[in-house]
Structure 1
Amino acid sequence: MEASPMVRSLTLAPHRAALSRRSLLSCAGGAGALAALTACGGDSGGSSGSDTDLTWFMWSASTEEVDAWKHVAQMVTDAEPGTTVTFQTAAWNDYWTKLTSQAASGASADLLSMQSLRAPQFAELFVPLDDKLEALGISSDTFESSIFDGLKVDGKLLALPYDFGPYIVFYNKTAFQEAGLPLPVEGWTTDDFVTAARALTTSGRYGFFANNTIDGALPFVLSETGRAAVDEGGELDVENDAWRSTLEWYAGLITREGVAAPLPSGGSSAAATNQFLAGNAAMSLDGPWSLINAKATADFEVGIAPVPAGSSGSTTWTAGSGFGVSRSAPDPDLAARAVAVLTGADAEAYLGEQGRAFPARVAQQQSWYDGNDLGDARTVMDYSIENSVPYRTTASWTQVNDTYTRYAVPAFNGDASVDELLSRVQAQAGS
């Protein structure tokens, strides 16, 4: 079926990268992920050995991502002759485990990466950048205000943002067309979503792959009930009817509808993305930062759509990440100049073109569209950002997320109750 003018989708020409699907999946999530990514990008040890040698610690999910990060690291050397940046990386979950141990030991890489959701927990690791912005020639109004403010804790800027974006639906456009289904459009509903998932569940492929992280469920809770995970007072609030009813529906996609695969017992947070990219699930929720991996591995046309509308409309969350200076850095001013380069206009334009980041710098966001043959996807992004809320978290968010991830698997697979999942997560409120 030909897309109407109202269709909010992107089209990526089918693309085969030199990196095989198997090698990508071995570099993202699951057992051995840290070892695989260490091989891709170096170890994740402590601070650099000299004042002009910087270490930079960042998460990665593929060799394409590692290559992109090394490219912008070289920009630092070009801007600061004689300075080298050693890139260190780990899989997503392993990154936060390592950073936690660094916080306990007082030793870390010179340059650290930080997601806005987890900034409150790791604030002690960072040198605030507020007093350095003028010397760096940086004005806050060049960045999306929500993510610039999202990387502040107690009013202090911990990191400069490099990306920003809403959580959206990635879908297999080829599968939709082969099934004769209308493509997801602005205003499609959860009923439309379930109808499509049923039609797309065939021949060993599921219509959807559920996510065992709180990130994946939150857009559905917001769209159905308008309820976030953290209330306006900053308190965790998930043990309630809003979360309970939505998660029971979400679990039912696996246990009742059979349109989503049972979650793997290992509980990898990368499972949904990996299964989508492998063609085993026709829909998955993800962020614009994952476009680089979709380009590298998907052998089908990829589309994006807003989160389907529930009783409260279509609402998703926005968040982002940035780079900051570690308190362990021997030369904080040099490290701050490096961060300014890593989040500068040239680096942002490059990361946007590669599909690794929807740039936090407003003027560079066009590069995400220009570099990726995205058609009319701007309408998806504009609509999703407009119909989004900043992702509020607590100082114990890593523990909240880890608990949710661990107990979501049995709850969603029908081996435990949603009530048990929510009570265990809520117990982390005072952690």
Structure 2
Amino acid sequence: MDSASDQRRPRKCTAHVATAAAISLAALTACNGGSAGSGMDGETVIMHTWVGGDADREQWGAYVEAGNQADSSVDVSFSGPAIGNYYTALPTVLQGSNAPCIVTLQNGQVSPYIEGLEPLEDLAADVGLDLNEYNEAMLEQLSVDGEVYAIPYGAEPNLIFYNRGMFEEAGVPEPTLGWTTEEFLEAAEALTGDGQYGYAIGPGLFHPTYWMAANGEADWVQDGVGDLTDENLIERIQFKIDLATEHEVARPLEADAGGTFPHIDAFSNGQAAMMMNGTWDLQHQQDQIGEENLGITSIPSDDGVARGAIAGTGFAVTQNCSDQEAAMNAIAAMTSLEAQEEVGRTRGNVPSREAALEAWGADEAEEIVEVVREVTTNGVASEIPHNINELNTGFSQYIVEAYAGRSSVEDVLQLIAADDDQS
């Protein structure tokens, strides 16, 4: 860490991870007898994250409580807005005088926020945290220019979720690990009809980039800048559109709006037999359509090789945190092997430590464990552009023209690039 970073780090202060009952945001005070300090409430580390309902509260409460079991000397509280508003407000949160000490990041969305985040390798070494114990692909996606900015708390490979009952009713064989794009299309066509679709299209730029990663095409971003003329990106976006307009196996998105998740709703409600999503949605979908009815498999690839499209998800320390070492201790506790095993058992969250996979898989079906282990081991991390939020906004605005046949994918991407140049 450079000298400027060293000057930002205060003296060590004892940290504690609170039990789930202690999840309230209080006045910000530092460790030295209650004087003002950003991101601390006495000795409690304040975490800013997305909290959109009971499921989010229970998830974060599980990490906090598991961290407490791993290290009873650590204390964390959390609060925040729903996920739809989280990233929009995050730059302001990071720059504020009352910035929290910890923030959470998903889908590798690190680059847009690094001006407000602290590189973590030196802090990890200070608290004895070995980064080699975490999933390598996830660490790669949570890094910028070789610097790790977030510690992964869960492995989130993106997969194809499918409804077993709908496959059986249509007489379609269930997909196997490492299936091809052609096999996917054949299944989707056979599953479409009688008011239901074979596949539900997800919003935003992330989904076509996951198809790219599944095909080993994860290099459209260089030095934090996305190449909107990349041939593979254009091809995968066109494929997404063709699913609705040419193959007619998916409903076209009338508005590819950020903050909404029509593919999740369609799949949960039985309006679509398949969708793409991360393993973070696994327990939710088991609850929605039935544990025995939910199947998962790899994202299909042109060559039939099962590759995991990794979405790095982790805890980060803010630059304005008044006790960065306390924050790092809290992160170490919440992502420890013991905590990962506990959250994996109680919440079904896939751990970011391979050593914790056995504990997670103890209560999961063998085929679920096999798929997750394979795609996590063979995970491909895609670099995320520093302006991904602006690109997604433009994509949401213009892609509907491509679904309607009024614009080509190239035209849409040119419009997005022009807007980005003017911003």
TM-superposed CA distance for 1:327, in Å, is 2.6
Secondary structure at the aligned position of 2:156 is classed as strand
Q: Which aligned pairs between 1:98-109 and structure 2 lie closer than 5 A?
A: 98-109=89-100
Unaligned runs of 5+ in 1: 1-40
- Residues 144 and 360 in structure 1, CA contact (< 8 A), matched pair in contact too: yes
**Rounded Cα–Cα distance in structure 1 between residues aligned with 2:337 and 2:295:** 27
User: Which range moves more in the overlay, 143-152 or 406-415?
Assistant: 406-415
- Residues 239 and 426 in structure 1, CA contact (< 8 A), matched pair in contact too: no
Secondary structure at the aligned position of 2:77 is classed as strand
Deviations 1:385-418 (CA, angstroms, capped at 9, x unpaired): 4554211122222222332233334423545432
The percent of aligned pairs where both chains have the same amino acid is: 25
User: Which range moves more in the overlay, 412-421 or 174-183?
Assistant: 412-421
TM-superposed CA distance for 1:426, in Å, is 3.9
Amino acid at match of 1:166: P
Amino acid at match of 1:262: P
The answer for the alignment partner of 1:242 in structure 2 is 232
TM-superposed CA distance for 1:369, in Å, is 1.5
Distance 1:424 1:342, change over 3 A: farther
The answer for the alignment partner of 2:327 in structure 1 is 335
Amino acid at match of 2:129: I
The answer for the alignment partner of 1:363 in structure 2 is 355
| Counterpart pick for 2:206 among 192, 204, 215 | 215
TM-superposed CA distance for 1:52, in Å, is 1.7
The answer for the alignment partner of 1:67 in structure 2 is 58
Secondary structure at the aligned position of 2:270 is classed as coil
| Counterpart pick for 2:158 among 148, 164, 167 | 167
Deviations 1:313-338 (CA, angstroms, capped at 9, x unpaired): 55452132111222333322222211
- Residues 60 and 92 in structure 1, CA contact (< 8 A), matched pair in contact too: yes
TM-superposed CA distance for 1:311, in Å, is 5.6
Secondary structure at the aligned position of 1:303 is classed as strand
Q: Quick check: 1:111 aligned with 2:132?
A: no
Distance 1:326 1:251, change over 3 A: same
Amino acid at match of 2:237: L
Q: Quick check: 1:262 aligned with 2:281?
A: no
Distance 1:363 1:105, change over 3 A: same
Under a length normalisation based on structure 2, what TM-score does the superposition of the two structures give? 0.81
Size of the alignment, in residue pairs?
389
The answer for the alignment partner of 1:252 in structure 2 is 242
Q: Which aligned pairs between 1:389-428 and structure 2 lie closer than 5 A?
A: 389-414=380-405, 416-427=407-418
TM-superposed CA distance for 1:191, in Å, is 2.1
Under a length normalisation based on structure 1, what TM-score does the superposition of the two structures give? 0.79
- Residues 292 and 354 in structure 1, CA contact (< 8 A), matched pair in contact too: no
Deviations 1:129-156 (CA, angstroms, capped at 9, x unpaired): 3233244231122112222343233443
Q: Which aligned pairs between 1:233-382 and structure 2 lie closer than 5 A?
A: 235-265=225-255, 267=257, 268-299=259-290, 301-310=293-302, 315-354=307-346, 357-371=349-363, 373-382=364-373
**Rounded Cα–Cα distance in structure 1 between residues aligned with 2:403 and 2:238:** 8
| Counterpart pick for 2:220 among 230, 245, 248 | 230
- Residues 251 and 413 in structure 1, CA contact (< 8 A), matched pair in contact too: no
Q: Quick check: 1:137 aligned with 2:133?
A: no
The answer for the alignment partner of 1:200 in structure 2 is 191
Q: Which aligned pairs between 1:10-89 and structure 2 lie closer than 5 A?
A: 48=39, 50-60=41-51, 63-76=54-67, 84-89=75-80
**Rounded Cα–Cα distance in structure 2 between residues aligned with 1:83 and 1:323:** 15
TM-superposed CA distance for 1:80, in Å, is 6.8
Amino acid at match of 1:113: T
**Rounded Cα–Cα distance in structure 2 between residues aligned with 1:99 and 1:375:** 39
The answer for the alignment partner of 1:26 in structure 2 is none
| Counterpart pick for 1:125 among 116, 129, 135 | 116
Amino acid at match of 2:395: Y
TM-superposed CA distance for 1:211, in Å, is 1.4
User: Which range moves more in the overlay, 158-167 or 233-242?
Assistant: 233-242
- Residues 39 and 98 in structure 2, CA contact (< 8 A), matched pair in contact too: no
TM-superposed CA distance for 1:84, in Å, is 4.8
Secondary structure at the aligned position of 1:118 is classed as coil
Distance 1:405 1:317, change over 3 A: farther
**Rounded Cα–Cα distance in structure 2 between residues aligned with 1:84 and 1:357:** 22
Unaligned runs of 5+ in 2: 1-22, 29-37
- Residues 42 and 89 in structure 1, CA contact (< 8 A), matched pair in contact too: no
